[in-house]
Amino acid sequence: MTDLRVRAATTADATVDTVPDSAGPRGLTELRVQQWCVWSAPLFVVLLFGGLLLAGWVPPPAPGMTAAEVAAMYAQNPDLKRLGFIVVFLGGGVSAGLVAAIHHQLRRIPGARPLALLQVMGGTLGVAAVSAPAIVWMAAAYRPGRDPEITQALHDMAFIPFIGNLVPFLVQAVAIGVAVLMQDPDRPRLPRWLGFYNLWTAFLTLPGLLLIFFHGGAFAWNGLLVFWVVATVFGGWFLVMFTVLRARLRAEAA
Amino acid sequence: MTGVRTEPDRVIADDGEHMPGEAGIWIFVLGDMVVFAVCFAVLALVHAQDPAGYAVAQDVLHLWLGVVNTVVLVTSSLTMALAVHAARAGRPRRAASLVLATMAGAVVFVAVKAVEYTDLVAAGHTARSSDFFLYYFCFTGLHLLHVVIGLGVLAGVLRIVRRTAPTRHEMGLVESGAGYWHMVDLLWLVLFGLLYTLG
Amino acid sequence: MDPTRTLVTVWAALIIATAVSVAIHLGLGAGAAAIVAVLVLAFVKVWLVGRHFMELRDAPAILRRLFDGYVVVVPVVLAGILLLS
């Protein structure tokens, strides 16, 4: 216990991390592994938007489509779509790497351990928020000959959470934001602006929750505010976290 | 990484420049202003599609309640700015009463908005009535959420300014909170202009 | 001018601008001139709040430029949407 506290105090004081880093087999240090983990963020962005592009869903299909139109859409380039779903599915899994790397930083902020844990919970559910819709898309595309109404139901069941399931991300971003702002202002481990940035990002996801009321317009799942703003901010968040964590790990390595 | 460790150095720096609040709060403020700019553009598009329908729907709004809320919010912004000056001048009691006045303004704003919403809904004007009302409720609702969060922010500011000698870091937090509140004010000024007075 | 007086003057200007925009709305009604007037008044108010209440007057140049850019670009885009379509 005392050991832990002393250790927390030292890490808080030092600009460069002083926690002894026990190397694994073949000299793979924690630092090294983290440096790999953060690359999952840009990889996630590429896979997520790449998968959507393969499926032909940038911008997303209009929520106002009829059942017959939805079924016809799934019948078009079905194998390319299935490939796209697999890519999105993989992307969801890959994003877990960033969650682990963020955890490694947050848990060393004195007093922020519960928030570090909360970040992992939000981030883990975030993986599911991407993977689960991908699985439902797979099911929707599996039997092209079935009743279009059923395909439409599956399509809604995938798209509504895919665009609208932002609560895990909200939890994650708020946890990071508060933890970053809890740091000693004179010796921040992560830059303080990152805290405000995370709170702002969390806030921006809120309009996404309104999508279930709309079949068209700015708040629909393909709308200006719910898709374009949220997709930009969400994708941008991964790239910002990547850049900041990489700079941090470089400083630790130096 | 420039601006990473911006400390609110002092009240007015030697070169005459002073970052109001922490650098980070400006990511939040400017970021939010950009998102609201998208909302403003949506309103402009709704107006452009059907100017006559926009005007008809707009006439239903209670212009004078909107004016009252504008005056309330602008005044609360003034008391907030004065509170920051009082805190800097080392006058905690004056600063605390000014922050309390700002919070009172926020409460009045929420109350007036509640009256307005209930009255509109009672008269049968809901978010389903037309595009105008849809975005009226969504955007003023989003703004109202900012006001409610602002009440929490102001409560935090109040705790700091009550102290006799806030540290530089704490003064930075006060300025950041004030910056957030002024943002709530200026977003409303544009929303008011577009929703209530765009012919 | 001492800071308190400046702030109160800005406040008065904001109130007057609000009154003017309401008068224009009630007097001029619809039309291009009214649209431009409403936009100009709204963003002049935004600029006043930023410059004096948010203390951007003394802020680093980058912050001032971003804010000034916003106050110019957003109303121009809005005017474009409102008047050209």
Q: How far apart are the first and last CA of chain C?
A: 45
Q: Which of A10-19, B20-29, C36-45 has the highest mean pLDDT?
A: C36-45
The CATH number of the domain holding residue B67 is 1.20.120.80
Give A166→chain B minimum CA distance, Å: 17
CB contact under 8 A, A192 and B134: no
Best of B75, B190, B194, B196 to mutate (most C CBs within 10 Å, chain C): B190
- For all residues of chain A together, what is the average pLDDT? 89
* CA separation, residue B51 to residues A147, B130, B155, C40 (Å): 43, 13, 42, 19
Q: Does B175 touch chain C (CB under 8 A)?
A: yes
Tokens representing residue A77 in the block: 């380039």
For residue B184, is it within any domain?
A: yes
Judged by CB atoms closer than 8 Å, whether chains meet at B142 and A195 is answered as no
Cα angle at A209 between A204 and A212, to 5 degrees?
A: 145
In a domain, B146, yes or no: yes
Q: Cβ of B28 and A200 within 8 Å?
A: yes
Domain span at residue B120? 39-196
Residue C71 has pLDDT above 70, yes or no: yes
ipTM: 0.95
Tokens 């009214």 belong to residue: C34
Domain boundaries defined on chain C:
3-84
Q: How far apart are CA C6 and CA C1, in angstroms?
A: 6
Distance from CA of A244 to the nearest CA of B (A): 9
pLDDT in the model for residue A21: 62
Which H or E element spans position B199?
none
Q: Are C78 and B40 in contact (CB under 8 A)?
A: yes
Which tokens sit at A150? 């059923």
- On the 0-12 / 13-18 / 19+ scale of CB atoms within 10 A, B15 is exposed
Residue B15 pLDDT greater than 80, yes or no: no
Q: Are B140 and B191 contacting, i.e. CB atoms less than 8 angstroms apart?
A: yes
How confident is the model over B135-190, as pLDDT tens digits?
999 999 999 999 999 999 999 999 999 987 888 889 999 999 999 999 999 999 99
Q: Work out how many domains chain B is built from and give that number.
A: 1
Are residues B27 and A204, on separate chains, in Cβ contact within 8 Å? no
What burial class does residue A49 get, using C-beta atoms within 10 Å of its C-beta: 0-12 exposed, 13-18 middle, 19+ buried?
middle
| Residue B138 touches partner C, C-beta closer than 8 Å | no
Residue A20 pLDDT: 55
Q: What tokens appear for A152 in the block?
A: 């439409």
Nearest CA in chain B to C32: B199
DSSP code string of A53-116: HHHT-SSPPPTT--HHHHHHHHHSSHHHHHHHHHHHHHHHHHTHHHHHHHHHHHTTSTT-HHHH
Tokens 């609000």 sit at which residue?
Answer: C18
Is B32 part of any domain?
no
